[in-house]
Amino acid sequence: MSETRDVLRVAVLGAGGLGMAATRMLAGKREMTHVAIADSRGLAVDMDGLDADAVGEAQTATGTVGSTRASGQLSGDAIGDLLGHGADIDGVFVALPNLPNDFVPSVVERFAQRGYQGVMVDALKRTSAAELVVKLDPLLSHVGITYVVGAGATPGLLTAAAAVAAQSFAEISSVDINFGVGIANWEAYRATIREDIAHMPGYDVDAAQRMTDDDVAALLDETGGILELRNMEHADDIILELAGVVDRKRVTVGGIVDTRNPKKPVSTTVTVTGTTFEGRTSAHTFTLGDETSMAANVCGPALGYMKAAHWLHTRDVFGVLSSADIMPRFVR
Amino acid sequence: MSETRDVLRVAVLGAGGLGMAATRMLAGKREMTHVAIADSRGLAVDMDGLDADAVGEAQTATGTVGSTRASGQLSGDAIGDLLGHGADIDGVFVALPNLPNDFVPSVVERFAQRGYQGVMVDALKRTSAAELVVKLDPLLSHVGITYVVGAGATPGLLTAAAAVAAQSFAEISSVDINFGVGIANWEAYRATIREDIAHMPGYDVDAAQRMTDDDVAALLDETGGILELRNMEHADDIILELAGVVDRKRVTVGGIVDTRNPKKPVSTTVTVTGTTFEGRTSAHTFTLGDETSMAANVCGPALGYMKAAHWLHTRDVFGVLSSADIMPRFVR
């Protein structure tokens, strides 16, 4: 049985809600060491392993992980500085807010141009952003990066469940993803909530990016803290299409986000409907436990895909893969 | 994105219920051609593609696929004869009844010793049988076979769903698989039903193998056609343990088989219970649609894993993998 046994040195890009959750999650892993984190104003690097509490305190107190005592530094080009340590980093979790829509793809391209040779995973959500990453496949294959696009919750965990469920059917008629997210307070996930608002009628990525915190708070006051999202532009569609499972038009993603209550407003489900080789129509369903947080459902799979991608990287399999192409591996 | 684009030439070993279902399923696939099938008394081979109806009729009329007009031949060593075509076969679905318990592992070893260099997948169920296959890893790696053990429904589809679901949790406390199977008549799945009986209190593999059809019919008359199975020795446990997900003791498999009604007596579910990195306990569930047959849920994943394994085979990744190691790929 093939297994990766090394302790992987992991960097996290982005110190927002997801990045900080990844930092806390990595503190509990024996198979991974968290060696670097970067945000827009600084970075912290320690090849022996960062102190998650210190990173969190620095981020809370000063707004940048660069203020972490000993391991931190302020920087006008934190990603560039982090790339100086690229040779010592096995895997990168790109947890940056993707505003504007080509920001994460441009960061990935920069890693490739600097000759980074490791594993990268993202938690991108939009189809158009995922398409930009997929276009980098020849470059990443050439450089020697093994990349997993859409490795969060949706796309990610739920897309993988859909790809598994599809196996019983000869033809898939629809994949419906319906998520519920509850967070106690939107300010812990400023970028994620803005990306969600961009999916609402009358908004787009630019409009959401321009909103001040007061604008967001005012909108949430109007809706009672609830964001209801339908027919979202979500990369589950292109990922399942590229995996050959189903035409992207047959994939629908929607959900309800409660920004004032950590309890999920609805259970998150994936429903895969298809016809078997005998001609019977049926549906498999995958339902997430309500007690699992967005952070657990995004960052867990991201690290699981990183472990799987590292295994492939050691076998010289490079380029852009998706969360429907490879099985995420459990990180102890 | 990595994809396999060739039309794979596929052989099926075994012409019982599962083998014949695979034959019908392959008839609908554009990415695979069914070129060979073998049973205990003969084989049929046609590199341009077998006629599924003709194979089915021969099997029904004479009890062996070797009687298929034109492409068939009777044989005292059908597997040996099929191995003579090994160089032309990309993938093998081992759908043989595993009675005795080391039969399938011995067939796999024979393929390796004859220098077969392709992909093999099985639908083995018992932990002890899977362990015998896992021991062949060094031999299969050396020869150049990419093998997926436990690639049916359970282990297989349900194990994969459990491995995906585990990603939200820092620690898994239990994986519970509870299946329902309904078949119109047990005689279409003589070997499968005998393997199920071997799990019942007071029976073992040898005792089940020795039962005549009349013995089986008498037992089923006693139980009203129902087999109720608890704490089965099922390879989901070793597969999830080897994948690092959970200790095998925390995996339980049970189910109810109705041999007189194609309607499932209970819905098949997988429940993965764990604790998140924040310390919350929760459970994800995966539920199969009741209208999906055992044949669809076993043979679909088997071919999906074959496609995935072929992709790895083209990248020189050889040896024994499991259904929890790689993502099955959708076969069109």
pLDDT 10s digits, A19-45:
999 999 999 999 999 999 999 999 999
If one counts the domains in chain A, the total is: 2
Q: Which one from A34, A199, A307, A313 is the annotated catalytic residue?
A: A199
Q: What is the mean pLDDT of chain B?
A: 95
Q: Please tell me the distance from the alpha carbon of residue A54 to that of residue A58, in angstroms, as a whole number.
A: 6
In a domain, A132, yes or no: yes
Amino acid A259: pLDDT: 94
User: HSE on the CB side for B69, CA within 13 Å?
Assistant: 5
Domain that holds residue B201: 157-290
- In this structure, the answer to whether residues A307 and A285 fall within a common structural domain is no
Which pLDDT tens digit goes with each residue over B135-182?
999 999 999 999 999 999 999 999 999 999 999 999 999 999 999 999
Tokens representing B106 are 């011995």
- In this structure, the answer to whether residues A278 and A301 fall within a common structural domain is no
pLDDT at A75 over 90: yes
Is residue B256 within 8 A of residue B265, CB to CB? The reply is yes
Q: Please tell me the distance from the alpha carbon of residue A319 to that of residue B189, in angstroms, as a whole number.
A: 44
Q: Please tell me the distance from the alpha carbon of residue B172 to that of residue B252, in angstroms, as a whole number.
A: 13
pLDDT at B73 over 60: yes
pLDDT at B184 over 90: no
Amino acid A134: pLDDT: 98
Q: Look at strands B319-322 and B146-149 and give their pairing.
A: parallel
Q: Please tell me the distance from the alpha carbon of residue A64 to that of residue A25, in angstroms, as a whole number.
A: 19
Q: Lowest-confidence range among A169-178, A255-264, B30-39?
A: A255-264
Phi, psi of B179 (to 5 degrees): -110, 155
| Cα–Cα nearest to B306, from B55, B8, B78 | B8
- In angstroms, what separates the C-alpha of A217 from chain B's closest C-alpha? 27
Q: Please tell me the distance from the alpha carbon of residue A109 to that of residue B30, in angstroms, as a whole number.
A: 36
CB atoms A287 and B289 under 8 Å: no
In a domain, B225, yes or no: yes
Q: What is the mean pLDDT of chain A?
A: 95
Which residues make Cβ contacts (< 8 Å) with residue B295, sequence separation at least 6? A277, A278, B17, B18, B21, B25
Residue whose pair of structure tokens reads 């259970």 in the numeric block: A267
| Cα–Cα nearest to B242, from B311, B331, B162, B321 | B321
In a domain, A3, yes or no: no
- In this structure, the answer to whether residues A60 and A162 fall within a common structural domain is no
pLDDT at B269 over 70: yes
CB atoms B163 and A328 under 8 Å: yes
Is residue A173 within 8 A of residue A281, CB to CB? The reply is yes
CB atoms A289 and B297 under 8 Å: no
Give the nearest partner residue to A160 out of B280, B317, B327, using CB atoms.
B327
pLDDT at A2 over 70: no
pLDDT at B48 over 90: yes
- In this structure, the answer to whether residues B98 and B184 fall within a common structural domain is no
**Element (H or E) spanning A32, and its range?**
strand A32-39
* Three-class HEC string of B236-285: HHHHHHHCCCCCHHHEEEEEEEECCCCCCCCCCEEEEEEECCCCCEEEEE
Q: Which one from B195, B234, B307, B310 is the annotated catalytic residue?
A: B195
CB atoms B286 and A284 under 8 Å: yes
Report which DSSP code applies to A267: -
In the residue annotation, B125 being an active-site residue is answered as yes
- In this structure, the answer to whether residues A207 and A283 fall within a common structural domain is yes
CATH code of residue B94: 3.40.50.720
Q: Please tell me the distance from the alpha carbon of residue B132 to that of residue B126, in angstroms, as a whole number.
A: 10
Which pLDDT tens digit goes with each residue over A81-123?
999 999 999 999 999 988 888 999 999 999 999 999 999 999 9
| Cα–Cα nearest to B312, from B118, B132, B24 | B118
Q: Please tell me the distance from the alpha carbon of residue A295 to that of residue A299, in angstroms, as a whole number.
A: 6
Q: Please tell me the distance from the alpha carbon of residue B222 to that of residue B160, in angstroms, as a whole number.
A: 35
Q: Please tell me the distance from the alpha carbon of residue A11 to that of residue A34, in angstroms, as a whole number.
A: 6
Which residues make Cβ contacts (< 8 Å) with residue B144, sequence separation at least 6? B117, B313, B318
In the residue annotation, B195 being an active-site residue is answered as yes
Mean pLDDT, rounded, for A38-53: 96
In a domain, A106, yes or no: yes
Report which DSSP code applies to A72: E
Is residue B257 within 8 A of residue B151, CB to CB? The reply is no
List of E strands, chain B: 8-13, 32-39, 42-45, 72-74, 91-94, 119-122, 146-149, 171-182, 226-229, 251-258, 269-275, 281-287, 319-322
Amino acid A1: pLDDT: 43
pLDDT at B5 over 80: no
Q: Please tell me the distance from the alpha carbon of residue B282 to that of residue B168, in angstroms, as a whole number.
A: 10
Report which DSSP code applies to A232: -
Which pLDDT tens digit goes with each residue over A234-278?
999 999 999 999 999 999 999 999 999 989 999 999 999 999 999
- In this structure, the answer to whether residues B185 and B126 fall within a common structural domain is no
Q: Please tell me the distance from the alpha carbon of residue B298 to that of residue B295, in angstroms, as a whole number.
A: 5
- In this structure, the answer to whether residues A199 and A148 fall within a common structural domain is no
Which pLDDT tens digit goes with each residue over B272-316?
999 999 999 999 999 999 999 999 999 999 999 999 999 999 999
Is residue A128 within 8 A of residue A233, CB to CB? The reply is yes
- In this structure, the answer to whether residues A12 and A146 fall within a common structural domain is yes
Give the nearest partner residue to B315 out of A3, A134, A317, using CB atoms.
A317
Size of interface A-B (CB pairs under 8 A): 208
Q: Please tell me the distance from the alpha carbon of residue B308 to that of residue B312, in angstroms, as a whole number.
A: 7
Whole-structure pTM value: 0.95
pLDDT at B112 over 90: yes
- In this structure, the answer to whether residues B113 and B251 fall within a common structural domain is no
In a domain, A110, yes or no: yes
In a domain, A327, yes or no: no
> How many other C-beta atoms lie within 10 A of the C-beta of residue A239?
29
DSSP sequence for A94-139: E-----STTHHHHHHHHHHHTT--SEEEE----HHHHHHHHTTHHH
Task: State how far Cα B82 lies from the chain centre.
Answer: 20
Amino acid A4: pLDDT: 47
In a domain, A330, yes or no: no
- B146 forms beta bridges with B119, B319
**Element (H or E) spanning A197, and its range?**
helix A190-197
| Cα–Cα nearest to A157, from A26, A16, A15, A287 | A287
The helix/strand count (H/E) of chain A reads as 12, 13
- In this structure, the answer to whether residues A70 and A195 fall within a common structural domain is no
pLDDT at B58 over 70: yes
- In this structure, the answer to whether residues A141 and A216 fall within a common structural domain is no
Most A CBs within 10 A among B164, B183, B316, hence the mutation to make, goes to B164
- In this structure, the answer to whether residues B141 and B13 fall within a common structural domain is yes
| Cα–Cα nearest to A180, from A196, A203, A201, A160 | A196
Tokens representing B38 are 């073998």
In a domain, B144, yes or no: yes
